[in-house]
Amino acid sequence: MTIKLGVPSKGRLMDKTFDWFARRGVTLTRTGSDREYAGAVAGIDGVALVLLSAGEIPRELAAGRIHLGVTGTDLVQDKLPLWEQQVEPVVEMGFGHADLVLAVPTAWVDVDLTDDLDAVAAMFRARHGFRLRIATKYHRLVREFLRDAGVADYALVDSQGATEGTVANETAEAIADITSSGETLSANHLKVLSDGLILASQATLWRSRVAPLADADRSTLFDLIERLH
């Protein structure tokens, strides 16, 4: 048996993850051709590298098919109900910062707080005959946030990409999306509500609470976690 470590399979997130582990004496490498998703681990025995899409890592952790995995807080919290029971954060890795925020048109001078958004949603529904639409792909997180904030008379519409464009395209009145710098938002004439931070996310190393562990694996896992802190 080995400890399986799930890591994003491409892009900046993979590169930064490799760098982060390298600084702690654990060398992760991709093996074979560029197109082949196989990898190797040097610097510690008994650990295998599994390259996966960042979006699939929460599910694999929850299923216990990998012991450790690197992915964003946003993906874990949105994809896993009762995530605390299935995974545990080991260490925040200090990169991949992204905030899930609620944004409305900048020209809505009367809207600065979720309290305003709720009032506007009521007026919008009375005027247009349907609920104020909020475009997002983070349905669970956004719904829970709005429930806690006491916002009513809205509807979530699914948007898997180019979410900032939905308002100008008149398929939504507001959006909830990940932003790192806010530039895309302002380029699309949108502003973040003052109390509209739904989640501050960053790349995080997670441990599965359900992956089976043989005794030998257990000590490997604790050694590895020790070195990474």
Partner 1 sequence: MSTPRARALALRAEFEAAGARVVEPPVLQPAELLLDLYGEDIRARAYVTSDALRGEQMLRPDFTVPVVQMHMADGAEPARYTYAGEVFRRQEDDAERANEYWQVGYEVFDRADPPAADAEVFTLIASALTHLPLHPVTGDIGILMAAVDGLQTSDRRKAALRRHIWRPRRFRALLDRFGGRVPVPESRAALIAGDVTSTAPLTGLRTQSEIDARVAALRADAVEPPIGAQELEGLEALLAVRETVPFALQQLNDLSVDLPAIKPAVRRFSARAEALRARGIDVDALAFEASHGRTLMEYYDGFVFAFYADGRPDLPPIASGGRYDALTRRLGGGDEIPAVGAVLRPGLMVELEGAP
Interacting positions 169-198 with partner 1 (CB under 8 A): 170, 172-173, 188-189, 194
Cα dihedral sign for 73, 159, 188, 105?
A: negative
Stretch in the footprint of partner 1 (CB under 8 A) among 63-71, 148-156, 203-211, 213-221 = 148-156
CA 207, CA 91: separation in Å to the nearest integer?
A: 10
Long-range contacts of 211-215 (CB under 8 A, 24+ apart): 211/4, 211/61, 211/64, 211/65, 211/66, 211/67, 212/64, 213/67, 214/1
Minimal CA–CA distance to 126: which of 146, 152, 95, 105? 152
Cβ distance to partner 1 smaller for residue 138 or 154: 154
Q: Is 16 in the site for partner 1 (CB under 8 A)?
A: no
Q: Is 123 in the site for partner 1 (CB under 8 A)?
A: yes
Q: Is 150 in the site for partner 1 (CB under 8 A)?
A: yes
Q: Which of residues 20, 21, 124, 145 is near partner 1 by CB under 8 A?
A: 124
**8 Å CB contact between 175 and 167:** yes
Q: Which of residues 42, 107, 162, 210 is near partner 1 by CB under 8 A?
A: 107
DSSP state of 131: P
Stretch in the footprint of partner 1 (CB under 8 A) among 22-30, 66-74, 141-149, 201-209 = 141-149
Q: Is 116 in the site for partner 1 (CB under 8 A)?
A: yes
Q: Is 89 in the site for partner 1 (CB under 8 A)?
A: no
Q: Going by C-beta distance under 8 Å and a sequence separation of 6 or more, which residues neighbour residue 112? A: 193, 194
* Residue 34 tokens, joined: 């560029």
Report the interface residues with partner 1, using CB under 8 A: 81-82, 105-110, 112-113, 115-116, 118-120, 122-124, 127-128, 131, 139-140, 143, 146-147, 150, 152-156, 167-168, 170, 172-173, 188-189, 194
